Structure 1
Amino acid sequence: MAVEIRPVGPDERAAWEPLWAGYLDFYNATLAPGTSDVTWARFHDAAEPMHLLGAYVGGKLTGIVQFIYHRSCWTAGDYCYLQDLFVANSARGLGLGRKLIEAVYARAEADGCSRVHWLTQPGNTTARLLYDRIADDSGFMQYRKLF
């Protein structure tokens, strides 16, 4: 089957929502009401540093990657934070995760970013098999304070 990686259009929210919900379910996450509305609007606002690409198999959206450009004190170029990556269960094993990450790499490099980085949980072993092949483990741990 043909695979196409491209931006998800503003008229494709109904196709994005189940994938976004699947990602949130995977991490047992809930969002405050209206957060997905704000997120969706940001993806389609040229002034925002947030981006959304989709993996289409046979014309159907089956995977998403959401990423954000941000400044760094360490480089002149922005960093690219790959925040969310999700592939529908029905499309697992087709290499879509790798294709989505590679599309982010290409886009970030073309846009002058100096790196792409992301987080995952240590127990996310299936994803880590891929990540260990296509990126370096930074060795850093994340700390946070929620408000």
Structure 2
Amino acid sequence: MAISVRQAVLADLETIVPLFDGYRCFYGKTTDPAAARTFIAERLALNESVIFIAQDHEGKALGFTQLYPSFSSVSARRIWILNDLFVAATARGRGVGKMLLDAAREHAVRTGAKRLALSTAHDNPAQKLYESQGYVRDRKFFHYELELE
């Protein structure tokens, strides 16, 4: 089965929504397609993120990754935060995640980025995929968060 990966546009919104809602559910949120639709529509309309979507030869959505732009002050260069990576359960084990990571990497290189950065849950099995693609677990820095609500 042929799988293609391409950068999503606003016209892809309804294709992305079920995947994004599934991603949120994977991380313990209650399904909310309306919130997913609003969030993704805003990111795409405002050019606040870059989304790559994987589809089969019939156009069925198999997975997505979403990148957010940021910068490294020390390097004085752009970085991309690979914030979301999700592959539908029916498409796992077929190389979709790797293809999405490859698209993210190519985009980062094309835009002159210093690096791609990601965070994941301690129990996320995708860690093996990340490490197989050259991602290295940070052992130099502690990461902190401040919840605001």
Could you state the TM-score of these two structures normalised by the residue count of structure 2? 0.87
Contact 1:68 1:80 in 2 (8 A): yes
Percent identity between the aligned chains? 29
SS of residue in 1 equivalent to 2:64: strand
CA deviations 1:72-105 (Å, max 9, x no partner) are 2111220110000001111111111111011100
Superposed, which structure 2 residues align to 1:58-69 within 5 Å? 58=57, 59-69=59-69
SS of residue in 2 equivalent to 1:93: coil
Cross-structure match for 1:56: 55
Aligned partner letter, 2:49 = M
Aligned partner letter, 1:21 = D
Cross-structure match for 2:14: 14
Aligned partner letter, 2:132 = R
SS of residue in 1 equivalent to 2:69: strand
Contact 2:69 2:81 in 1 (8 A): yes
Superposed, which structure 2 residues align to 1:1-147 within 5 Å? 1-29=1-29, 36-45=37-46, 48-58=47-57, 59-124=59-124, 126-134=125-133, 135-139=135-139, 140-147=141-148
Q: How far apart are the structure 2 equivalents of 1:103 and 1:114?
A: 16
Contact 1:55 1:61 in 2 (8 A): yes
CA-atom RMSD, angstroms?
A: 1.9
CA deviations 1:5-50 (Å, max 9, x no partner) are 101232222211110011000101368x8575144222243xx341
Q: Any stretches of 5+ residues in structure 1 without a counterpart?
A: none
Q: How far apart are the structure 1 equivalents of 2:39 and 2:129?
A: 31
Aligned partner letter, 2:56 = V
Q: How far apart are the structure 2 equivalents of 1:49 and 1:18?
A: 20
Contact 2:9 2:44 in 1 (8 A): no
